Amino acid sequence: MAGPQSYTPEQLDEAARNVLWWPAALALLIVGLGYSLLSQLLTLGPPWLVLAVVLVASVLIYVLRWRGEHRSQRIVALAILAIVTAAVAASAVFLLVSSAVDSVPPVELLRDAILLWASNILNFGLWYWETDGGGPLSRLLRRTPPSTDFAFPPQQQAALSGDKELEWAPQLIDYMFLAFTSSSTFGPTDTLVMARRAKVLMMLQASVSLVIFGGLVARAVGNLH
């Protein structure tokens, strides 16, 4: 799988100017903000810590992109996603097994579960956007096929019709929809998962969602007794 480092700096710079970056940056900031609103009993360290790390990483990513250091930019992006994934997964486990959570009021507990579930969706939507086909720069440079880790419905239709010059390309919202359906149904719906790394990410996302739902149900049943 070709990554950003397989292309010339000029090609990468031109592609970077054509990628819509702000939706991904906004989604990442929303994840950090959502995590900061969790009850402290559910967070790894202070609730604001993940938001602070996200803010620092976002500035660093912007600077690296401005300087044309696209490989370093992608490494930082994947690193911050790994940190957020660990934080959300740990909080989901706390929701399920921590006895200290019994003291959290039911309404606050429901809010925490919704925040974790939404953060899980946004986080893995960003994972899919950043990893599919080597990342947004590689997808834009390669163009065909527009996605290699997944087969989105337009790609499936083009394959059936024999259209080799597909004008459609996945955007962040397509990966967010994929992440939403994966967290809701614990599997993809209209999109085929092709790459092994995508399958691993999707299994991890579904597992975190299952833990969140399991923790919420366990706490709800416990409050009935």
Please give the average pLDDT of every successive group of 10 residues along the chain, which has 225 residues. Answer: 62 86 96 95 92 97 92 95 97 89 84 94 97 90 84 88 79 96 85 94 95 83 57
Q: Specify the pLDDT at position 222.
A: 62
Q: Specify the pLDDT at position 204.
A: 96
- Contact between 90 and 143 under an 8 Å Cβ cutoff? The reply is no
Q: Specify the pLDDT at position 1.
A: 41
Q: Specify the pLDDT at position 167.
A: 79
Q: Specify the pLDDT at position 42.
A: 92
Q: Specify the pLDDT at position 187.
A: 77
Q: How far is CA 128 from the centre of its chain?
A: 6
Element (H, E) at 151: strand 150-151
Of 111, 93, 128, nearest to 34 by C-alpha is: 111
> Domain-by-domain residue ranges, the chain?
4-224
- Contact between 175 and 132 under an 8 Å Cβ cutoff? The reply is yes
Query: Alpha helices of the chain — where are they, by DSSP H?
Result: 9-18, 22-36, 49-66, 70-97, 106-131, 136-142, 153-161, 172-185, 196-224
